[in-house]
Every structure is written in C-alpha cells, then in structure tokens.
Amino acid sequence: MDMTGNTILVTGGAGGIGRRLAEVFHARGDTVIVAGRRRTALDAVVAANPGMMAMELDVADAADVADFAARIVAAHPELNAVIHNAGIMRPEPLTGTPAWLADAEAIVDTNLLGPIRLTAALLPHLLARPRAAILTVTSGLAFVPSTAFPTYSATKAALHSWTQTLRRQLAETAVEVIEIAPPYVQTELTGPHQAVDPRAMPLADFIAEVMSLLDQTPTPAEIVVERCKPLRFAAANGTFDGIFEALAAM
C-alpha cells in the first residue's frame, strides 16, 4: 500500500483502533474521513484533529450504506482507501435466555454484512482509481474462537475468508486488499474494563506495530502483530486446542 497521498475512509472511526488509525494517517498528511453512528463522538474526533472530516454511517443499514456511498464519492472523488473497522462484540450465553439471538443478528449485520455492503457500493469507484486499497479489520479470534463471543468470532473468521477471496479476485486490478488482525487490545470494544486490562496489548503499541508493517514494501497481505501470531498460526503449529481452552477460561 502506498502510504502517502491517500483519501481514506475509516468506519468505526469514533474510538478505539479506528480512531487511532485515522489519527495516524491524518498526521501523515492523508485526507481522512471517519464514519460511525454517533455524531457526538465523531465531532469529538474531528475537534481533536483539525482538518479531519466525519460522516454519519450505520453499516448495519443497507439503505444507509448505499446512500452514504453515493454521498462520500460525490464529496470526496479522490477517495482511494477504505478501512473496514466498524464492529461490535457482545457476550452470548447460548444456554441462557434466547435474548442472545438479537445480539448475534446485530453482530452479523455490523461485522460481516457491513463490510460486504460497503465494499459492493464503493468498489466501482475504487476500481476506477489509479491505485486503491481495501483494508479489513478482523481479529485473532478469527483463527481461535472465544467461547464467550461465538458470533463475533464467527463473523471475523468469515471476514478473513471473504478478504482472501476478494484479494484473489482483485489481484489483476489496482485495488490492494489487506487484512489487519488485532489481538486482544486495550480498547473499549467490550466495555471500559478492556481499556485497562493488563492482559490486553496497549493500543499505542498495537498501532505503532501495525504502521511499521504497513510501511513495508511490499505491504504484507496480512498485518499480524507479534502478539497475534500465536492465534493466527495456532492450527499450523498444533497449539489450537490449548489456546482455545485458555481463551475459554478467561
């Protein structure tokens, strides 16, 4: 990925990994648009980063995705990179109340259908650019699932698979496809406790390592930081069962 002169859309850009990626690219001189559902949170990001722009988007709403895609292409015709970062993660006690089903459906809508819908809406524009990039944010749980978060893990596994096939189909085009697979990182994805959990990778350290990998030439197809490698290669290394049980005990 050419790391300069881009116009980048970051979904889920109001906090956590999305916000920090947006801020780093913005500081490097790229044009950055953050998108999300919460206007107040988006405004706070823009206020802290003069020159950054924000647009409201609910990736779980198919009609809103189509409308958003038309609006952002009209407002930012130089758009050439999308970071699919929007996601939700909720525990699902499958043997308890059936209320978990609503959470499961919302997770699929946001984490899996959201990137697919937005890619479908923006791909004709990206294919017309001289160079472009699509980056998906998956998870180490795509490779070893968490029993507490079954649908989240499943959507990230599906997004990993979908990213692989998208990359292959676009191999002869100018659109690069890159996957970022975070480990457990200090964000508020599952609540405020996660942001201070000493077992989680500090967000600043994660972003710094991600950017160092993105800066490599050629850019790796998969951005896997050292803390995530035990998960990513668990099946190949014969450590899947042990890591699966360790995650279940957390």
Instruction: Summarize pLDDT for 146-175 with one digit per residue, the tens.
Output: 999 999 999 999 999 999 999 999 999 999
220 domain-assigned: yes
Q: How confident is the model at residue 3 (pLDDT cuts 50, 70, 90)?
A: confident
Residue 150: what are its φ and ψ, rounded to 5°? -65, -45
- Name the residues annotated as catalytic: 152
Residue 146 is part of which domain span?
7-249
Give the rounded distance of the alpha carbon of 47 from its chain centre. 23
Could you tell me the strand order of the sheet in which 175-181 lies? 53-56, 31-36, 7-11, 81-84, 132-137, 175-181, 222-224
pTM, rounded to two decimals:
0.96
2 domain-assigned: no
Enter the tokens of residue 123: 């791909």
Per the structure, the count of domains in the chain is: 1
The pLDDT tens digits for 82-96 are: 999 999 999 999 987
User: How far is Cα 37 from Cα 109, in angstroms, rounded to an integer?
Assistant: 14
Residue 97 three-state SS: coil
Residue 106 three-state SS: helix
CATH code for position 35: 3.40.50.720
Neighbours of 224 (CB within 10 A): 22
1 domain-assigned: no
Residue type, 190: T
78 domain-assigned: yes
